Amino acid sequence: MSQVKNTKPGEHKHCQCQDTQNHFLERAFESLKLEAAQRELLLAPFRETIVSIPLLTRRAEGGNLHTFMGYRVQHNHARGPFKGGLRFHPSVNLGEVRALAQLMTWKTALVDIPFGGAKGGIAVDTNTLSHHELEILTKRFVQKMELVFGVHHDIPAPDIGTNPQVMAWILEEYSKTHGYTPAIVTGKPVELGGSAGRLEATGHGVAYLTGKMASEISLGIDNASVVIQGFGNVGFHSAQGLAAMDARIIALSDARSGVVCDKGINIEQAQRHVAKTGWLENLPGTEPVNNAELLELPCDILIPAAVEATINCDNAEAIKARLVIEAANIPVTHLADATLRERGITIVPDLLANAGGVLTSYYEWVQNLQEFPWDYDTVLRRLEQRLGRVYEQVRDLAQQHNTDLRTAAYELAIDRVNKAVALRGF
Ligand code: NAD
Structure pTM? 0.95
Residue of 119, 139, 188, 320 marked catalytic: 119
Q: Which of 86, 102, 134, 234 to mutate to test the pocket of ligand 1 (most atoms within 8 A of CB)?
A: 234
Bridge pairing between strands 65-76 and 47-56:
antiparallel
Tell me the C-alpha to C-alpha distance, in Å, between residue 79 and each of 41, 84, 125, 185, 382: 15, 14, 34, 18, 21
List the helix and strand counts (H, then E) for the chain: 14, 12
Ligand 1: nearest atom to the Cα of 201: 40
Start-end of H helices in 222-329:
233-244, 267-277, 291-295
- Residues 6 or more apart whose Cβ sits within 8 Å of residue 394: 110, 352, 405, 408, 409, 412
* Cα 392 to Cα 40: distance, rounded to the nearest angstrom: 30
End-to-end C-alpha distance for the chain, whole angstroms: 51
Domain locations along the chain: 3-180, 201-353
DSSP 313-331: TTTGGG---SEEE--SSS-
pLDDT of 3 reads: 31
Which CATH architecture does the domain made up of 3-180 adopt? 3-Layer(aba) Sandwich (3.40)
Confidence at residue 7, expressed as pLDDT on a 0 to 100 scale: 36
- Residue bearing the CA closest to ligand 1, atom 2: 160
| Ligand 1 neighbours (beta carbon < 6 A) | 4, 7, 158-161, 202, 229-235, 253-255, 291, 305-307, 327-329, 354, 357
Q: Return d(Cα 82, Cα 84) in angstroms, integer.
A: 7
Judge whether 3-180 and 201-353 match in fold.
Answer: yes
Residue 227 in contact with residue 204, Cβ under 8 Å?
no
Degrees, nearest 5: CA angle 168-172-176: 170
pLDDT below 50 — which residues of the chain? Answer: 1-11
User: Which amino acid would we find at residue 105?
Assistant: T
Burial class (CB in 10 A: 0-12, 13-18, 19+), 22: middle
Q: Can you give the pLDDT at residue 161?
A: 96
Q: What is the pLDDT of residues 214-230, one digit of tens each?
A: 999 999 999 999 999 99
Distance in angstroms (rounded) separating the CA atoms of residues 424 and 426: 7
Q: Which fold has domain 201-353?
A: Rossmann fold (3.40.50)
Q: What is the pLDDT of residue 341?
A: 98
Tens of pLDDT along 390-403?
999 999 999 999 99
